[in-house]
Structure 1
Amino acid sequence: MQLLNGMTGALIGSAIAAVGILTAPLYVDLFQIMQLTVFAAMAVLALSLGFIWGYGGILCFGQTSFFGLGAYTYAVAAINFADSTPAILLAILIPVIFAALLGYFMIYGGISDVYLGVITLTVSLILFNLVNSTAGDFYKIGDARLGGFNGMPGVPTFNLPGNPGYILTPEQAWMVTGIALIVVYLGLRLLIASSFGRIIIAIRENETRAALLGYDPRIYKLITFMIGGAIAGFAGALYVNWGAFVSPTIFALGLSAQIIIWVIIGGRGTLIGPIIGCLLLQWLVTEIGAQQAFDANFVLGAILIVFVLLVPKGIAPTLRDMVMSRFAERGDAPPDVSVKVKT
């Protein structure tokens, strides 16, 4: 019953969002649909870090590693199979395997949180330089040439499952990406509300106490890390579908920093926060780029400083606290917006 009560608001909000996603092509033009598609794909990426950092307590500076691996895996598989369905599955599987191997050596090796962040960032830079040096006909997997710094153009986009000849239109691809964002969000909400979710939150709050209660923090953190890798890889496939192109810049340091900024500004420890932060800042960067009046990186840096100093909790937790405070002033019972940890 508690789980159902906690999910009610999320389900209602998701239903409203789904209606908006399905009807958006009736009211906005193709260019805006394409923008919304990439925004939604990046929001899935933001959720991957929001989950492992906000709930698992794992600060990963290299979330682009899994994002890029998912993108390149999708591109290579889609070219070789001429079918997006197995390509999407592989785009999730390969980052999960990579996250399992990398996470095992870091987490079971007793690497502290600071060094874990440094290692994941270094891995992203290594992958960037590795893929960047794959120019030439020699570097190919099956029929797919990696292209080096020029990237891989002309990647097949999503098709109808079981029917490779039916390629989704941009409007249909937007619907798939938007609904995928909702599904990932709801899936994480259910996971956090489960016993597994309560345990990883307990480990985040006090790892020693959780271990004394009989839980192995290492396996829970590893599984959390793998889930984040799977979501980021899926986001990579969605991103490639948007532009039919992937290049080594997908591993770049700038994108790694942006993901962290999205989560900080939206609100760590929430799921809606990273989505809000991502959509808001992606829209802002797009508007700045269109006007060419300011440098986007300068504006992002200024926004980050303001939020760290004035709104350290982020947008979503701050709004939640305001609502809770208003209910407290009126003497009404506040809505159930928190996840309780039982130990």
Structure 2
Amino acid sequence: MASFWAKEVPATVLVAALLIWIMPMMIGTFTLTVLIIYGMLGFSLGLIWGFGGILCFGQAAFFGLGAYTYAIAAINIGDSTIPMLLAVLVPAVFAALLGAMMFYGRLTDVYLGVITLVVTLILFKFINSTAGPEYVIGKARLGGFNGIPGFQTLNVPGRPNDYIFGDPFYYVCAVLLLIVYLLVSWLLKSSFGRVAVGIRENETRVALMGYDVSARKTVLFAIGAAIAGLAGALFANWGEIVTPNLFSLSQTAEIIIWCIVGGLGTRFGPIVGAAGLAYLKFLLGQQSMIDNTLLTGIILVLFVLFLPKGLVPAVVSLWRISFGQRRKIRKHGARRIRRGGVGNG
């Protein structure tokens, strides 16, 4: 673990700082901000699915729950600090309770996927049906399909009138993604992370070794929900409105596609997949000739057929093959030179 903080963290921070500085020169910070938020959302599923082996169709539910929690709390409190914390805590607690019921109930992967999908659809239907004036939490009306607009956006802690928006909000989101990335990287390199990967590979063997598999899967599930909730709160600040579409089935499908395209089992893959496909969708939204959903489906099929491991693992493999061969050639040539030198002498 000491090598992680000494070697990997400085390099990661340096690369992230360069990207945070360079990217606004190519893409506007308003668009970059939502790409970062989607990257965090994809990262949340990449953690529990890619490293824990838990295929969850509920990340959209946790994303929307975080956004709605923030909006409701911000309207009632009038400050963003506590709402941001609640937006992380509420989805985490909800996921912990749901996960405990599923994992201690020893449900198979198929039933896990079905239950998380049903939970997402239930929340979507419920939020859509809250248009009446009786659906109020404190001062906040849920608004039904119209959503909740006009809540307190991110501000300097203790100073509600000092809003954080525009370029500063972009940097806040980027730094939060970096912090989440480093914390998850540290977690995966710890004993907990190694056991989680072991559960993904062979759950029965890990259980026979004496580990409480259900408890560890529940904790990992809750951590993924907390990250999705944070992304939801940031999205609420970015859009300044929350609607039931955050819980939609299309949102759920997109998150899964992001992870598949980017590369499961990698930390950076889901972030790249989410940001890349979201930006592609943004570009296609400026024209009407090609349908976004059709193109996304084609991309998914192509990746499943030709790059089943995802984009990032393919690039890494190509890099290793290319530069690995060059290193072998250089080493082989150096050995021949040394041998020739010894023979001539």
TM over 0.5: yes
Deviations 1:29-82 (A, max 9, x none): 8xx211111111111110100000000000001211111110000000011111
Note if 1:12 corresponds to 2:8.
no
How far apart are the structure 2 equivalents of 1:284 and 1:109?
A: 40
Contact 1:74 1:90 (8 Å CA) reproduced:
yes
SS in 2 for 1:290: coil
CA change 1:5–1:325 in 2 (3 A) is farther
Note if 1:215 corresponds to 2:206.
no
Contact 1:70 1:233 (8 Å CA) reproduced:
yes
How far apart are the structure 1 equivalents of 2:325 and 2:9?
A: 25
SS in 2 for 1:215: coil
CA change 1:28–1:321 in 2 (3 A) is closer
Determine which of 181, 184, 194 is the counterpart of 1:185: 181
The alpha carbon displacement at 1:325 in A equals: 2.4
Note if 1:295 corresponds to 2:291.
yes
Deviations 1:141-189 (A, max 9, x none): 1111110000011122100012112111311111111111111111111
Q: Percent identity?
A: 50
The alpha carbon displacement at 1:9 in A equals: 4.7
Task: Give 1:278's aligned residue.
Answer: 274
Q: How does 1:1-343 map to 2 (within 5 A)?
A: 4=3, 8-9=7-8, 11-21=10-20, 27=25, 32-331=28-327
* Rg larger for: 2
How far apart are the structure 2 equivalents of 1:146 and 1:81?
A: 16
CA change 1:36–1:7 in 2 (3 A) is farther
The alpha carbon displacement at 1:7 in A equals: 7.2
How far apart are the structure 1 equivalents of 2:289 and 2:12?
A: 36
The alpha carbon displacement at 1:327 in A equals: 4.3
How far apart are the structure 2 equivalents of 1:139 and 1:106?
A: 30
The alpha carbon displacement at 1:329 in A equals: 2.2
How far apart are the structure 1 equivalents of 2:197 and 2:110?
A: 19
The alpha carbon displacement at 1:5 in A equals: 5.5
Letter of the structure 1 residue corresponding to residue 16 of structure 2 = A
Deviations 1:317-340 (A, max 9, x none): 1112222323442456xxxxxxxx
CA change 1:28–1:325 in 2 (3 A) is closer
Contact 2:4 2:186 (8 Å CA) reproduced:
no
SS in 1 for 2:286: helix
Task: Give 1:340's aligned residue.
Answer: none
Task: List alignment gaps of at least 5 residues for structure 1.
Answer: 333-343
How far apart are the structure 2 equivalents of 1:93 and 1:226?
A: 9
CA change 1:300–1:186 in 2 (3 A) is same
Q: Size of the alignment, in residue pairs? A: 328
How far apart are the structure 2 equivalents of 1:323 and 1:5?
A: 23
Task: List alignment gaps of at least 5 residues for structure 2.
Answer: 329-345
How far apart are the structure 1 equivalents of 2:58 and 2:10?
A: 31
Deviations 1:117-156 (A, max 9, x none): 1110010000000011101221111111110000011122
Contact 2:92 2:226 (8 Å CA) reproduced:
yes
SS in 2 for 1:320: helix
How big is the alpha-carbon RMSD for the aligned residues of Structure 1 and Structure 2?
1.7
